[in-house]
Amino acid sequence: MGGYASTMSSMVLPENKKAKGSSSQINHAYLLTASEVATQIRAGTMTVEEYARSLLRRIDDRDSAVKAWAYIDKKYVIEQAKALDKVPFANRGPLHGVPVAVKDVIYTKDMPTQHGSPIHEGDFPKIDADSIAILRKAGVLILGKTNTTEFAATTIGGVTCNPHDPLRTPGGSSSGTGAAIGDFQAPIGLGTQTGGSTIRPASFNGVYALKPTWNSISREGQKFYALIFDTLGLYARSVDDLDLLADAFALADDEESAFAGVQGARFAVCKTMAWNEAGPGTVKALQRATELLRSHGARVDEIELPPEFNDLPELHETALFAEGRVTFLSPYRVAKDLLSPFLAEHVENPYPISRKQQLAAFDKMAALRPKFDEIASHYDAVLVPSVPDEAPVGHEFTGNAIFCAIWSALHVPVVNIPGFQGEHGMPIGVSLVAPRYYDRHLLKVSKAVGPIFEAEGGWKRKNVPVIDVGPADGF
C-alpha cells in the first residue's frame, strides 16, 4: 500500500472486537489513510465518532502552528459523526464516515464559503457544490473549510504555514487543504487548480494529489477563475485514497489499463520548456526519480517537446488574464476597495490583451492538446517536475506555478508523487502525466511508482508527535 501512513495498518483490531478500540489506538487513528479508516469503520472496529475525535485532537494540537482552517465547528463535526454511526451498515456508502477537508471556494450548504476574500466574509450560500453532493452521498463527513488565497486566484500567501517548517509557504491556492493533509489533520481533501493550485501545494506539503482531466468532474458550485482551465483537485496520503475519490466521482477510462508494474514499463522523462526555472532540489529529484525507475526495471526515454510547445506558459497566462477580467468584473464593480490590486488589474487590463490574442491563445492550446496526447500515448507515463524547488521561505508568495501551468493548459491528468527533498530537508514531489482521460491508468501507474519514490527518494518526514490524551470533553 502506498502512503507514509500505511505502517499504521497494524492498528486494525480483530473483527470480533467491535468498537471501541483501546484509547491509545483511537488517539493514534489520525495517522490512518482514508482507505484504512474506511476498512475499520466498515468492519465495526472503530466508530466514525472515535476517528473524528482523534482528528479534532490533532487539529487542537496543531492548528496554532499550521492554521489550515478557514472554518471548523467541532461540535457540528461530532454531531455529523454520531449521525453517521447510526446509519445501518446496509445503507452505508463506500466512503462512509471518512472526513474530507474542503477548500473554501467550494459551496457547502451547512458551512460558510468565503473565498478567502473580505468581500464574502461570513457568507453562507446554503447550497452544496456538485462535488460535495456526490461525496455526501458516498457517506463522507465534511470536516471543515480550508484556507485559500483570495478567490483561489492570487499567489499572495495567507495565514497558513507549511507543516514541515512554519516559516515556509504551504503553496497555493489550495494552501489549507495541502497543509491539512500533510499534517494528518484530515485523510483526504478537495482543492482546485487553474495553474498549479493543487499540484504545487501537494509537492510542498509532501502528499499525493490528482489534478484530473479537465472537466471530468463537475465544477458546479465552486468559484471560477478561468473556465478553460479550472479543475477540481483531489488530495490524499496514498494512491489508494485517490482511487477511492476517483470511484466516487465516476472517473473512468475508455479501456482498462494494461499496465503490469514498473518492471518492463516504459516511461518518458521531460524537463519541459520551463527547465531553466528548476532549482537544485528539483534537478536532483527528477534525476533520482529517473534512476529509481531504471533501477526497478523500467525503460526511461529522455524526450523534449517539439518547439511548437515552447509558448505554452505564455499562452496559459494570456488566456488566464483574458478570462479573469470576466470573472472579476462583479467583485470589481461591487467592492473594488476590498479586491486585491492584482485581481482588479484583470478588469482594468493593464496588460492589453486583445480578443485576437485571446482567440489565438485558445486555438493554439487546443491544437497542442491532441499532439501531446499522441506523444504521451507511447509511454506508460511521462515524468515531469512538479515545482521549481522546495517551498520558499516566507508567506508572502506561494511559489511559481510554471511547471504545473503547462499541464493545466493541456487539460491532461497529473499526479504528484512525494518522496524527494530539497537542500533544507523540505519535501519535493515529481509528477506523472498521461493523455487526457487516462486518469485511472495514471493512478494505476502511480500506485506502483509511489512506494518506490517514498522508500528510496530520500525524504523522510519528521516524527509525527503522538497525542495520547483522554476523552475530549471540549466538543
Q: What confidence tier does 17 reach under pLDDT thresholds 50, 70, 90?
A: very low
Determine the average pLDDT of the residues in 286-312.
98
Residues 270-275 have a mean pLDDT of 98
**Has 103 been annotated as catalytic?**
yes
Instruction: Please report which helix (H) or strand (E) contains residue 403, including its range.
Output: helix 402-410
State whether the Cα torsion 445-446-452-457 is positive or negative: positive
How would residue 471 be classed by pLDDT, with cut points 50, 70 and 90? very low
Calpha distance 210→106 (Å, rounded): 17
Selecting among 103, 145, 364, 444, the annotated active-site residue is: 103
Assigned domain for 139 exists? yes
Mean pLDDT along residues 15-20: 40
Q: What is the mean pLDDT of the segment spanning 39-44? A: 96
Cell of 191: 482543492
Q: Is the pLDDT of residue 12 over 80?
A: no
Band (23; pLDDT cuts 50, 70, 90): low
Q: What angle do CA 151, 343, 428 make, to 5 degrees?
A: 60
Share of the chain above pLDDT 90, in %: 90
Dist. CA 290–CA 283, nearest whole Å: 11
* Average pLDDT for the chain: 93
Pairing of strands 266-270, 231-236: unpaired
Determine the angle formed by the axes of helices 34-43 and 239-248, rounding to 10 degrees: 70
Which range is least confidently modeled, 61-75, 250-264, 458-472? 458-472
Provide mean pLDDT across the span 31-36.
97
Residue 468 inside a domain? The answer is no
Residue 473 confidence (pLDDT) above 80: no
- Residues 209 and 206: their CA atoms lie apart, in Å, by 10
**Residue 13: pLDDT above 70?**
no
SS (H, E, C) 72-84: CCHHHHHHHHHHH
pLDDT at 349: 80
CA separation for the pair 216, 234 (Å, rounded): 12
Catalytic-residue membership of 257: no
Global pTM exceeds 0.85? yes
Give mean pLDDT, residues 26-38.
Answer: 93
What pLDDT is recorded for position 329? 96
Indicate if the pLDDT at residue 36 is higher than 80.
Answer: yes
Residue 5 located in a structural domain: no
Residue 21 confidence (pLDDT): 53
Better-predicted residue by pLDDT, 23 or 57: 57
What domain range is 302 assigned to? 25-457
Return the C-alpha cell found at 198: 493543487
Residue 2 lies in a domain: no
Confidence grade of residue 465 (pLDDT, cut at 50, 70, 90) = low
* pLDDT above 80 for 52: yes
Domain-located, residue 8: no
Catalytic residue from among 6, 117, 131, 173: 173
Q: Is residue 19 part of a domain?
A: no
Angle CA 162–163–165, to nearest 5: 65
Least confident stretch, 63-77, 116-130, 349-363, 394-408: 349-363
What is the pLDDT at residue 461?
81
280 is a domain residue: yes
Q: How many domains does the chain have?
A: 1
187: in domain? yes
Asked whether the CA dihedral 382, 383, 386, 388 is positive or negative, the reply is negative
Q: Catalytic pick from 131, 197, 408, 431?
A: 197
Q: Inform me whether the pLDDT recorded for 11 exceeds 50.
A: no
Q: Above 50 in pLDDT, residue 16?
A: no
Q: Average pLDDT for residues 124-142, to the nearest whole number?
A: 97
Q: How does residue 18 score in pLDDT terms, banded at 50, 70 and 90?
A: very low
Between 92 and 471, residue with greater pLDDT: 92
Core vs surface per residue 232-264: b (16+ CB within 10 A) or e: bbbbbbbbbbbbbbbebbebebeeeeeeeebee
| More confident: 452 or 17 | 452
**What is the Cα gyration radius of the chain?**
21
Looking at the predicted structure, is the pLDDT value of residue 468 above 90? Answer: no
Is pLDDT of 73 > 60?
Answer: yes
Please give the torsion angle defined by the CA atoms of residues 63, 240, 210 and 397, in that order, rounded to the nearest 10 degrees: 30
pLDDT (tens digit, 9 = 90+) per residue, 406-431? 999 999 999 999 999 999 999 999 99
Give the bridge partners for 188, in sequence order. 100, 236
CATH number of the domain encompassing residue 118: 3.90.1300.10
